[in-house]
Structure 1
Amino acid sequence: MDTELLKTFLEVSRTRHFGRAAEALYLTQSAVSFRIRQLETQLGVNLFTRHRNNIRLTSAGERLLPYAESLMNTWLMAKKEVSHTQQHHELSIGASASLWEAYLTPWLQTLYENRESLHLEARVAQRHSLVKQLHERQLDLLITTEAPKMDELTSQQIGHISLALFRSRQSEKLEKYDYIKLEWGADFHQHESYLAGGDDVPVLTTTSAHLTRQLLHVTNACAFLPETWHNDYADLLVIQDTPVAVRPLYAVWLQNSDQQTHIKQLLKFPIANLK
């Protein structure tokens, strides 16, 4: 399908006049008529009825109109995205909400402070969705606590994160705290197994570290949050006699990614607060 034919069809349907459509498209009137005939030949139907200067869409033309608009909008968006990527080498980075909030946002700040002409997309989603996007080349780089075991992916450990079990400083001392389950990886349950009442249903399951922190007081719950947050938030208190959970952090990308050079350049900048 020649998009110029659709563009001409849309202009004629808008102006209901071949002459005015020709002026808008910077074409001759005969060229407009020829394009419409080409499109009608391809579709095997008449798209307009022509009675003197009264031009109307046929029923077939009316049906084509929304599809033509959709196709042209999609084509224009595709051209814009391809051109944008070619000009700026945009690189997409994906991670869970908890990793963005706890570790990766300060890292992005460092990148933009130290790199000129940097064009990134920060994508927030769950790990399984981001792994799928890597395979489909919709994502360039994944930051995760679990490296996918797939031959076509390259994984590089970039550090560790340390998570402590916190409660709100304002919570009354309880024998057992409810639990807010935060997304730190599918295999994180091994770190949660020693919790009192660990088999109970969490009062909240979420992917947001900041949401978790803000709800600790009203829920009288505990949750695993970055160990360094005890210095950042005065309302947090580490529950005594609970071990720190240490998790590896990986950067993951396709082995044959055409963004490997850019990815490796970014990874030269360490992520803060990693141990």
Structure 2
Amino acid sequence: MDITNARTFLEVVKTGSFVSAAENLHISQTAVSARIRVLEEQLQRPVFVRNKAGARLTPAGEQFFRFAATLVQVWEAARSTVALPPGRAAMVTIGAELSLWSPLLKHWLLWMRRECPSIAVRTTIETADRLMALVQDGTLDAAVLYGALRRPGLVAELLFEERLVLARTTSPTTTEDPIGIDWGADFAAGFRAAFPDRPNPAVSVSHGPLALDYILAAGGSGYFREGFIRPRIEDGRLEIVPNSPAFAYPAYLVSSEKTDPSMLPRIREGLRYAAADTP
């Protein structure tokens, strides 16, 4: 299958019409129609119904849509791997959740640059579910995420274990109004069990570092990764709330049967080094 046809299919789905897809792809509407016709011949099914309002997916088109994005992503991964930058002998692709990038993945990138100079690196920030899907289909060699769920063909190994602790600012204006932070379903369940009568927070943030910046500026409290806030505890701007429950927050390295076996030990070694070097 021509990947160009799959890209064109996705553009028609995104824009809802052949005309808009042609404009975005900088080709003629006739070329879009020709690519979709070839795709339909290969699938032996029509994928769009065209009308005055644009184009909508047929049942067969809806089924193909589930695979089209993966086809394009896998092709891009293969192309990137084959077309290595000058002076590089191999490519490693790794993803992580946003909250893990600083400082863990920063330390890992520096380790890779120092210890594996012949290996090119491609990185991705995504949600946990999306990362696991990308590892599963081979787009990523591995991913680092919290609370890895079991999926067929994936291997999750414990990388390190953190704690989420309740911390508050130490300024005289500090209030007990806690900020809500999205640390995943396991934390949410544990938090509700520990604080069954606590109302929903007035302010909720999905990214821990942003929540920390907020309470340092405005005062307040919230659950944070213990290692991440240690510098703020040491400089006296934060303190751990006495007698408050702490929650385990393990991080996992997720790989698949498709991961290059020669790459995985290097990824693992660098991440364990970075984890040990991360407060």
The alignment covers a number of residue pairs equal to 209
Deviations 1:8-35 (A, max 9, x none): xxxxxxxxxxxxxxxxxxxxxxxxxxxx
Answer yes or no: is the 8 Å Cα contact 2:74–2:137 preserved in 1.
no
Q: Secondary structure at the match of 1:156?
A: strand
Answer yes or no: is the 8 Å Cα contact 2:178–2:220 preserved in 1.
yes
Larger radius of gyration, structure 1 or 2?
1
* 2:91 alignment partner AA: E
Answer yes or no: is the 8 Å Cα contact 1:101–1:209 preserved in 2.
no
Answer yes or no: is the 8 Å Cα contact 1:158–1:251 preserved in 2.
yes
Partner residue in 2 for 1:42: none
Partner residue in 2 for 1:249: 251
Name the CA distance, whole Å, in 2 between partners of 1:102 and 1:62: 47
Answer yes or no: is the 8 Å Cα contact 1:159–1:274 preserved in 2.
no
1:83–1:127 Cα change, 3 Å: closer
* 1:128 alignment partner AA: D
Q: Secondary structure at the match of 2:258?
A: coil
Could you tell me which runs of 5 or more consecutive residues in structure 1 were left unpaired when the two chains were aligned.
3-60, 70-76
Name the CA distance, whole Å, in 2 between partners of 1:214 and 1:179: 11
1:191–1:106 Cα change, 3 Å: farther
Deviations 1:25-82 (A, max 9, x none): xxxxxxxxxxxxxxxxxxxxxxxxxxxxxxxxxxxx954367899xxxxxxx999864
How far has the Cα of 1:127 moved from its partner? 0.7
Name the CA distance, whole Å, in 1 between partners of 2:109 and 2:204: 29
Q: What are the within-5 Å matches in structure 2 for residues 36-75 of structure 1? A: 63-64=29-30
Answer yes or no: is the 8 Å Cα contact 2:179–2:204 preserved in 1.
yes
The TM-score with structure 1 as length reference comes to 0.62
1:170–1:181 Cα change, 3 Å: same
Partner residue in 2 for 1:187: 186
Q: What are the within-5 Å matches in structure 2 for residues 99-114 of structure 1? A: 99-114=100-115
* 1:64 alignment partner AA: T
The TM-score with structure 2 as length reference comes to 0.62
Name the CA distance, whole Å, in 1 between partners of 2:203 and 2:157: 35
Q: Secondary structure at the match of 2:263?
A: helix
Name the CA distance, whole Å, in 2 between partners of 1:127 and 1:113: 28
Q: Secondary structure at the match of 2:251?
A: strand
Q: What are the within-5 Å matches in structure 2 for residues 124-203 of structure 1? A: 124-170=125-171, 172-174=173-175, 176-183=176-183, 185-193=184-192, 194-195=194-195, 198-201=198-201, 203=203
Q: What are the within-5 Å matches in structure 2 for residues 201-240 of structure 1? A: 201=201, 203-206=203-206, 208-233=207-232, 234=235, 235-240=237-242
1:145–1:123 Cα change, 3 Å: same
Name the CA distance, whole Å, in 2 between partners of 1:102 and 1:177: 28
Identical-residue share of aligned pairs (%): 17
Answer yes or no: is the 8 Å Cα contact 2:174–2:219 preserved in 1.
no
Deviations 1:170-194 (A, max 9, x none): 36243x32222133x3211244233
Name the CA distance, whole Å, in 1 between partners of 2:76 and 2:143: 25
* 2:238 alignment partner AA: L
Answer yes or no: is the 8 Å Cα contact 1:147–1:250 preserved in 2.
yes
How far has the Cα of 1:150 moved from its partner? 2.0
